[in-house]
């Protein structure tokens, strides 16, 4: 699809402020059952971001933010441990087929450029990256020798390629690190990007380069309408570290950086925890929305317990559902492989579905327009014991059919879960008998 | 273990009211890091139930209710579609090994008695049943020919066998059904027991036999100290039916029946939904606790969306975690096979772990004593990159080790998720470098 902004060099944010409704806003409005003016107004306020790099021609744009469906992101990419391109393409297919609105390419080793270019060319979903990973892998220098200009040049290369949003860990500045040094925490820094920025700052003695050169960085992003996704380098890596001085000190910085990005015409998403007990999640979402002036909130997890490796798609679905129901807008998927290995294609499928469940359950709770429509169809299909209709409306139509067909019931119309004791069948018969009686 | 009540014919409730601390209360107190008096007081108030049939000699008793760890139940049993006893025993093993505190034997066909007896003899977990299912299967009469005395005789047989708690659908009386008839709902009655009571009432024209003969029923339960688990026949079967007039009308009846059971010396648990949007769950828990005078709340799900068959262990873990964090005390597991087929052994494992995750995440949130201890151990193990220690404290130690070992990392101490970009390793090194420098 073409890009309405192309000649004008206006970002979605600038266009919205100027009162213009872009083609991307119209598409988002139609998908979300909202008026174009509703979308424009919230884009102008920064409450909705439409990550849409002017160079991502194949993009089917999505809005992320207040009043919209909760979106999900799938991480993939090659690393030093594993660079199996066919498998990464299989992950892309699974992500797109199962309705992920976003794919982050976290490749950090070897020839990252051709894969990224091909991915952007083929992906209708928005594409995100963490340029810092690529800088480390691609520049092939010792960390402390990488300069601020090097980092900015990698960011520009990603922007030219058509990346729609980039995670930038600009909030981990000296001020935020004071809290970290003073109060300590159980698991220090678990953000990969955050740990690298921290190590770079320690080794060079310099201020965070993304913070120090934030205005230059914004200028690059603005030229291509790249949305900045402000990374949470100090996100908790265990429930004990959640909502602590380190995390909140950085969040305060992210709020200030949000305003500066908007002033520079750049759209913003803010990233959030992490690991967190259920009863802290709602307060964290409210805190982010307040400190970051209503900017869209993108959460990784939160994982509601630390002790379920192998099942972190479930701990994360619990936390993600609660977060999104409380107002978070965008969920980063977590797979069963989290904390254990790079996910394979099946892990990706399990992660995507768990994340879609969390997003959809939250949309029901926060009354996103038409969110209950699919559930109503499922209820009708169940009442009619219409199995094909059930599978058709299911988030994953394949697995339930396989389960159902693996155990043929003796009583037609039922499944072996209840068999002849099927409550729906029993009640349908009892109600039919009643009607017959009252007809006599 | 012996039973302190044996000679006295006092239920735990009656003993607590008389100021006696039973052996079961002492065991529960020790497990829960509470004082025996704390337990006795709450058992006397009905806020904690200790389901412990005087004939269940192998029981390792557990408390269910306020201030205690959230417990989980595993359903199993043979049916007309599938009667594979070795597979059912494998499910029992999985349930016990993975820390399920309760097993419900829902067998409803053929020789249910020998399996039930053997299960009670071998199970340290509390055993629950739904005698109605067995009545239908075992008596081998057309439904409308079964008499109230027949139902009571099956209940007595289960009590003699040593069943610790029984689901009884006594709340679906004519009064509750008026709301159902007047207001209707999308998916009518989805409780198996509820549908059978409904059909029986329609066919015979009689009042619900468990309601009509409630006092006789209580007398049987009291003699063996069977805890009554008041079934929610009108629980919602889809999110659209949640918190509707039918459900709440029945809940009002369950509250009245709770008081009557306590007056008869019988311990009570109240069962709850079902399918329910996330934003309704907390209100439902509060409503149950209020209408049922603080009685322990046992929830099936709630499933927070209807459209994820094949993954209902996840939709249920989300709802169960939110419910238990809001005050629900007891979670009935749901497996990936829910709505599709009788679960196999692997489905049971997935269901148990998902349910344990929900229960544990809720215990963290509701500040159950020492709930965070395991998570703190995991955080320490992760900080030290001590993989064996991580697997040891994991809810399921087997799957994460299998995942980890399937993908050997190139950089020692890391996993392939991040490899040489492992944040924990990077930060540990940076902090070590800083210390070295400050030592100079």
Residue B117 Cα distances to A216, A382, A409, angstroms: 76, 36, 28
Are B38 and B158 in the same domain? yes
Are B92 and B226 in the same domain? yes
Report the SS3 class of residue B76: strand
Whether residue B6 lies inside any domain: the answer is: no
pLDDT, one tens digit per residue, over A209-263 is 999 999 999 999 999 999 999 999 999 999 999 999 999 999 999 999 999 999 9
Are A262 and A288 in the same domain? yes
Are B297 and B208 in the same domain? yes
Domain boundary among A345, A366, A387: A366
Instruction: Please identify which residue in the block is written with the tokens 């139930």.
Output: B49
Parallel, antiparallel or unpaired: strands A165-168 and B165-168 = unpaired
A322 and A278 Cβ atoms separated by less than 8 Å: yes
A301 and A334 Cβ atoms separated by less than 8 Å: yes
Are B114 and B189 in the same domain? yes
Partner-chain residue, chosen from B238, B357, B419, that has the shortest CB–CB distance to A79: B419
Mean pLDDT over each residue of chain A, to the nearest integer: 95
Neighboring chain B residues of A338 at a CB cutoff of 8 Å: 417
- Annotated binding-site ranges of B for Zn(2+): 275, 339
Whether residue B205 lies inside any domain: the answer is: yes
- Residues in A 332-361 with any Cβ partner in B closer than 8 A: 336-342, 353-354, 357-358, 360-361
Which domain CATH number covers B233?
3.20.20.540
Per cent of chain B over pLDDT 70 is 98
Are B350 and B378 in the same domain? no
The CA distance from A85 to the nearest CA of chain B, in Å, is 16
pLDDT-based confidence at residue B254 (cuts at 50, 70, 90)? very high
CA distance B129 to B167: 6
pLDDT, residue A439, reads 65
Domain boundary among B321, B338, B366: B366
Q: How many domains does chain B have?
A: 2
Whether residue A219 lies inside any domain: the answer is: yes
Partner-chain residue, chosen from B339, B364, B424, that has the shortest CB–CB distance to A190: B424
Are A167 and A79 in the same domain? yes
pLDDT-based confidence at residue A437 (cuts at 50, 70, 90)? confident
Whether residue A347 lies inside any domain: the answer is: yes
pLDDT, residue A79, reads 85
Report the SS3 class of residue B71: strand
Question: Is residue A298 annotated as involved in ligand binding?
Answer: yes
ipTM: 0.96
The CA distance from A48 to the nearest CA of chain B, in Å, is 23
Are A325 and A399 in the same domain? no
**Domain residues for B46?**
12-366
Whether residue B5 lies inside any domain: the answer is: no
Are A289 and A172 in the same domain? yes
A423 and B198 Cβ atoms separated by less than 8 Å: no
pLDDT, residue B4, reads 41
pLDDT, residue B8, reads 55
Cis peptide upstream of residue A274 (ω within 30 degrees of 0): yes
The CA distance from B88 to the nearest CA of chain A, in Å, is 14
Per cent of chain A over pLDDT 70 is 98
Parallel, antiparallel or unpaired: strands A102-105 and A126-129 = parallel
CA distance B209 to B196: 12
Residues 6 or more apart from B17 whose CB is under 8 A from it?
B44
CA distance A362 to A383: 24
pLDDT, one tens digit per residue, over A157-184 is 999 999 999 999 999 999 999 999 999 9
pLDDT, residue B81, reads 86
Counting other chains too, the contacts that B395-399 makes at CB distance below 8 Å and 24 or more residues apart are B395/A307, B395/A308, B395/A311, B395/B98, B395/B353, B395/B356, B395/B357, B395/B360, B396/A308, B396/A310, B396/A311, B396/B98, B396/B349, B396/B353, B399/A310, B399/A311, B399/A336
Whether residue B355 lies inside any domain: the answer is: yes
pLDDT, residue A4, reads 41
Domain boundary among A366, A383, A407: A366
Whether residue A7 lies inside any domain: the answer is: no
Are B37 and B160 in the same domain? yes
Nearest-CA residue of chain A relative to B205? A434
Task: Tell me the mean pLDDT in the region A362-374.
Answer: 97
Q: How far is CA A58 from the centre of its chain?
A: 20
Whether residue B7 lies inside any domain: the answer is: no
Kindly state the DSSP code that residue A219 receives in the 8-state scheme: H
Are A394 and A259 in the same domain? no
pLDDT, one tens digit per residue, over B406-440 is 999 999 999 999 998 999 999 999 999 888 877 65
Are B295 and B399 in the same domain? no
**H/E stretch holding A238:** none
């Amino acid at each position: 699809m073409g890009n309405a902004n192309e000649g004008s060099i206006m970002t979605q944010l600038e266009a919205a402020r100027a009162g213009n409704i872009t083609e991307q806003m119209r598409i988002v409005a139609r998908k979300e059952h909202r008026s174009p003016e509703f979308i424009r107004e919230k884009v102008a306020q920064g409450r909705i971001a439409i990550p849409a790099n002017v160079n991502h021609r194949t993009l089917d744009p999505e809005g992320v933010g207040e009043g919209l469906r909760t979106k999900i992101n799938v991480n993939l990419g090659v690393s030093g441990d594993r660079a199996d391109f066919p498998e990464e393409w299989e992950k892309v297919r699974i992500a797109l087929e199962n309705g992920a609105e976003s794919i982050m390419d976290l490749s950090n080793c070897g020839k990252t450029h051709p894969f990224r270019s091909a991915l952007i060319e083929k992906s209708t979903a928005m594409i995100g990256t963490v340029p810092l990973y690529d800088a480390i892998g691609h520049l092939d220098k010792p960390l402390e020798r990488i300069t601020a200009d090097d980092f900015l040049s990698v960011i520009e290369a990603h922007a030219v390629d058509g990346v729609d949003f980039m995670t930038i860990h600009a909030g981990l500045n000296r001020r935020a690190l004071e809290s970290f040094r003073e109060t300590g925490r159980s698991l220090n820094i678990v953000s990969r990007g955050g740990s690298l920025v921290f190590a770079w700052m320690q080794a060079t003695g310099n201020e965070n380069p993304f913070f120090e050169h934030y205005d230059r960085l914004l200028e690059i992003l603005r030229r291509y309408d790249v949305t900045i996704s402000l990374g949470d380098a100090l996100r908790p890596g265990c429930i004990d570290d959640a909502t602590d001085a380190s995390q909140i000190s950085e969040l305060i910085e992210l709020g200030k950086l949000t305003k500066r990005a908007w002033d520079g015409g750049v759209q913003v998403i803010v990233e959030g925890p992490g690991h967190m007990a259920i009863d802290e999640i709602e307060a964290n979402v409210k805190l982010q929305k307040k400190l970051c002036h209503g900017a869209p909130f993108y959460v990784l997890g939160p994982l509601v317990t630390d002790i379920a490796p192998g099942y972190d798609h479930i701990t994360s679905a619990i936390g993600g559902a609660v977060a999104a129901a409380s107002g978070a807008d965008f969920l980063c998927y977590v797979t069963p492989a989290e904390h254990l290995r790079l996910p394979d294609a099946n892990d990706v499928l399990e992660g995507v579905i768990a994340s879609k469940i969390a997003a959809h359950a939250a949309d029901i709770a926060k009354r996103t327009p038409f969110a209950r429509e699919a559930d109503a169809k499922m209820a009708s299909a169940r009442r009619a014991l219409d199995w094909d209709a059930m599978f058709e409306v299911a988030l994953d139509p394949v697995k339930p059919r396989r389960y159902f067909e693996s155990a043929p019931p003796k009583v037609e119309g039922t499944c072996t879960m209840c068999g002849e004791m099927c409550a729906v069948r029993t009640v349908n018969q009892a109600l039919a008998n009643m009607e017959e009686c009252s007809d006599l």
